[in-house]
């Protein structure tokens, strides 16, 4: 496990064990890679490193639930369900990860919870923490499977986090990389377009 600054070893171990217990070692490797990228971004943009690490490690923790369980939870709690979530239940996983982070890991920090909650879709008025986890999740790949947009985002990051988010979302829309855009993503894109177009 990578060394994580001031975060308690026991807390990190609890997160690791949760993924392992549910047979999700692969996802655990992924969230560790996201954390590594997020650390670099936190340094680059002078954000709290620990918040970025915790949000990264927990962003996909709902992998322990099935898609049916996610949907049932959302229904039971009367969540407003986006059309895209209605059609593709796994899109709910970002919101479920927030719930688990809060309930099972006692995370109360809104920067962390929000970054977990919108890591797939971003949202309008996103914080820098939201943007770091959103971007880190997209560029944290092993060397073999580096996506085509990687260089695009890398270059954009030299400009700003906002510009990187804009470039990534634009890439998704331009290349039809979305199953069905969530309204949070559309709103985030609209906001960024007003800045860059
Ligand atoms: Fe995810
Ligand atoms: Fe992820």
153-184 pLDDT, tens digit each: 999 999 999 999 999 999 999 998 888 999 99
* Nearest ligand, measured from the Cα of 70: 1
* Nearest ligand, measured from the Cα of 138: 2
| Distance of alpha carbon 58 from alpha carbon 66, whole angstroms | 17
- Are the C-beta atoms of residues 84 and 119 closer than 8 Å to each other? no
Find the range with the poorest average confidence among 2-6, 31-35, 125-129: 2-6
81-114 pLDDT, tens digit each: 999 999 999 999 999 999 999 999 999 999 999 9
Smallest CA-to-CA distance from 161 within 57, 43, 32, 50 is with: 43
Give the burial string for 134-146 (b: 16+ CB within 10 Å, else e): bbbbbbbeeeeee
Ligand 2 centre distance from Cα of residue 35 (Å): 10
Ligand 1 centre distance from Cα of residue 8 (Å): 24
Looking at the whole model, is its pTM more than 0.85? yes
Protein residues within 5 Å, CB atom, of ion ligand 1:
60
- Are the C-beta atoms of residues 112 and 101 closer than 8 Å to each other? yes
Superfamily of domain 9-144: Hypothetical protein af1432 (1.10.3210.10)
Ligand 2 centre distance from Cα of residue 59 (Å): 6
Ligand 2 centre distance from Cα of residue 107 (Å): 18
């Amino acid at each position: 496990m990578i060394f994580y600054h001031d975060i308690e070893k026991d807390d990190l171990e609890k997160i690791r064990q949760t993924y392992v217990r549910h047979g999700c070692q692969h996802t655990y490797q992924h969230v560790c890679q996201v954390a590594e990228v997020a650390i670099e971004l936190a340094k680059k943009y002078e954000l709290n490193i620990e918040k970025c690490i915790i949000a990264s490690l927990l962003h996909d923790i709902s992998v322990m639930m099935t898609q049916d369980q996610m949907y049932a939870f959302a229904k039971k709690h009367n969540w407003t369900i986006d059309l895209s979530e209605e059609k593709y239940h796994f899109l709910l996983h970002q919101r479920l990860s927030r719930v688990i982070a809060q309930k099972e890991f006692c995370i109360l920090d809104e920067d962390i919870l929000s970054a977990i909650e919108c890591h797939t879709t971003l949202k309008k008025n996103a914080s820098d923490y939201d943007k770091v986890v959103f971007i880190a999740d997209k560029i944290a790949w092993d060397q073999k499977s580096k996506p085509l947009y990687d260089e695009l985002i890398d270059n954009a990051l030299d400009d700003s986090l906002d510009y990187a988010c804009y470039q990534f979302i634009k890439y998704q829309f331009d290349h039809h990389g979305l199953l069905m855009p969530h309204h949070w993503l559309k709103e985030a894109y609209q906001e960024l377009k007003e800045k860059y177009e």
